[in-house]
Chains A and B, each alone.
Chain A
């Protein structure tokens, strides 16, 4: 059949192209080309005196495999995510369940929990660093009152990453909770009423009704939390200087990327590190979408 393209259809095409043009042009210049450029740069060594980029083939990747800092960073990044993601999700979910329904003071609680989300991480980290201060920080002073020993929260290599994760959890609870509250509101009340009649306790209701039915929200929060936690930078940058004894045990992939690209100006090596981050995040995303079918119930 001869397909005629009517004037009206053509008109719609032109409008479509016109409307997406700024966004698509912007995406190509700002994002798509840079992806290829980062990949390309990862085969070069940036000259010490600026312009001269020298092609080094796979040297940056070889260097990366032999660089203990890179392995530390991979390890720290995963450990950080392993601490932040489960705790922030569990606490947020419990709070959301407690707040769901007609809880007195619901909006006040919600407002307070959300405050860390609207403050700059640079400021937040500074006050936490002060709270963590080993000599004069509030936490150690209170520990001392209880007769407990002082803890080097930000410079003990075994503890610093936990201190960082605590800030991460604290910052994101309110955000996750707001998302969970929205998810919980979708669950029909009859389910709870029916199980009330059956005599099910609140804890059982949580596991049998709430958890399965909130699983789409849970999945969404899980995916975004993992990706966020894997890209941690601000808190570690503000808290741990390169000279900190806990640096090796806290440096994250993004912090390492920043240091190599902009502090030491080796943008080739920095690009190779960012490629590693890309690979890790892509693998995680694939795993998440594969396992999703096993436990997420879409109503």
Chain B
């Protein structure tokens, strides 16, 4: 390698590695702290980086005090139902907006765009009042409620459908498929990468959401992982090893899924983000 190419490359890698370290360090510190005793975590002299014994006492304690199985289930159920609803309803509407002609199409699509321009906080009080009025607070339904349909998903998938070639639909029509059959048998399979992107986006958004579950599901048995962490923080306040253990318990499943499906995650975000 010629010398004039070597140094720019080294500098680039040093910068990239420094940033990678900055990204990774908080997570490393979270795990290391979660195995320490309170005394170790607060001992400054000598400064302790590694726990002296890798004992899961903090995890045992946190799991004893909180029903994490329940929280996993609540979070998973919320994510799964939101993903299914947003994919099904958004794909249906998106196909109609992309390919069919019907009166009111532009007006209704305008509603979709309008929803996307408005800050979501404006919906929260009325949505809360609705859930409260039908007596559904502290349920999985309440967690799912704002995500039953998705304007963003409709917009995203419409872009996908518009990018697909029309010939296949015409061929399906000639073969005697009606509009519904064409949609299910021809278009949906072709839009698979769009559906995957929307699923990832919806799941991540639901997983990270904090305000809605905190408002609508105040009972701890109906909380999500995110909203439970907020509660745990105010309950334990300064016991950082236990707080870190709770954090690790809350985030590892999503991290694992991410590491396994990272290609889909990153491409899904890149395509759906860029299509917005």
A contacts, CB < 8 Å to B: 9, 11-13, 15-17, 19-20, 22-35, 37-38, 41, 91, 94-95, 98-99, 103-105, 109-124, 126-128, 130-131, 133, 135-136, 138, 141, 144-145, 170, 173-175, 178-179, 181-183, 202, 217, 220, 224, 227, 230-231, 233-234, 237-238, 254, 257-258, 261-262, 267, 270-271, 274-275, 277-278, 281-282, 285
Contact between B126 and A33, CB atoms less than 8 A apart: yes
Number of A-B residue pairs with CB-CB distance less than 8 Å in the complex they form: 275
Residues of A within 8 A of B240 (CB): 130, 133, 136
Cα of A131 to Cα of B27 in the assembled complex, Å: 11
Min Cβ gap B35→A in Å is 14
Min Cβ gap A97→B in Å is 9
Min Cβ gap A109→B in Å is 5
Q: Which of B40-48, B56-64, B76-84, B189-197 contacts A (4 or more CB under 8 A)?
A: B40-48
Contact between B89 and A120, CB atoms less than 8 A apart: no
- 24 residue pairs bridging A and B, Cβ less than 8 Å apart: A13-B102, A20-B108, A23-B90, A25-B149, A29-B130, A30-B127, A34-B125, A34-B126, A103-B12, A111-B266, A117-B269, A122-B233, A126-B233, A127-B26, A127-B247, A128-B26, A136-B44, A144-B44, A182-B274, A217-B274, A233-B211, A258-B215, A271-B125, A275-B122
Residues of A within 8 A of B16 (CB): 95, 98-99, 103, 105, 109
Residues of B within 8 A of A35 (CB): 118, 122-123
Instruction: Out of A23, A112, A120, A133, name the residue touching B149 (CB < 8 Å).
Output: A23
Does B112 belong to the interface (CB within 8 Å)? yes
Contact between B20 and A127, CB atoms less than 8 A apart: no
Given the interface contacts A115-B23, A126-B233, does A261 sit within 8 Å of B148 by beta carbon?
A: no
From 101 to 148 in chain B, residues with beta carbon under 8 angstroms from any chain A beta carbon are: 101-105, 108, 111-112, 114-115, 117-130, 145-146, 148
Between A98, A123, A257, the greatest number of chain B beta carbons within 10 A of the residue's beta carbon is seen for: A123
Residues of A within 8 A of B259 (CB): 111
Min Cβ gap B138→A in Å is 15
Cα of A99 to Cα of B255 in the assembled complex, Å: 23
Q: Which residue of A lies closest to B12 (CB)?
A: A98
Cα of A73 to Cα of B259 in the assembled complex, Å: 38
Contact between B100 and A12, CB atoms less than 8 A apart: yes
From 1 to 49 in chain B, residues with beta carbon under 8 angstroms from any chain A beta carbon are: 8, 12-13, 15-16, 19-20, 22-24, 26-27, 29-30, 33, 41-42, 44, 47
Q: Which residue of B lies closest to A285 (CB)?
A: B117
Cα of A220 to Cα of B273 in the assembled complex, Å: 9
Given the interface contacts A30-B148, A34-B123, A35-B123, does A127 sit within 8 Å of B30 by beta carbon?
A: yes
Q: Which residue of B lies closest to A9 (CB)?
A: B101
Cα of A109 to Cα of B123 in the assembled complex, Å: 38
Does B68 belong to the interface (CB within 8 Å)? no
Q: Which residue of A lies closest to B207 (CB)?
A: A120
| A145-B47, A178-B269 given; 12 more Cβ-contact pairs under 8 Å | A12-B100, A15-B100, A19-B183, A24-B108, A31-B118, A38-B123, A104-B13, A112-B24, A122-B226, A123-B30, A123-B229, A278-B122
Residues of B within 8 A of A281 (CB): 118-119
Cα of A103 to Cα of B17 in the assembled complex, Å: 13
Contact between A231 and B244, CB atoms less than 8 A apart: no
Instruction: Out of A25, A104, A123, A175, name the residue touching B247 (CB < 8 Å).
Output: A123
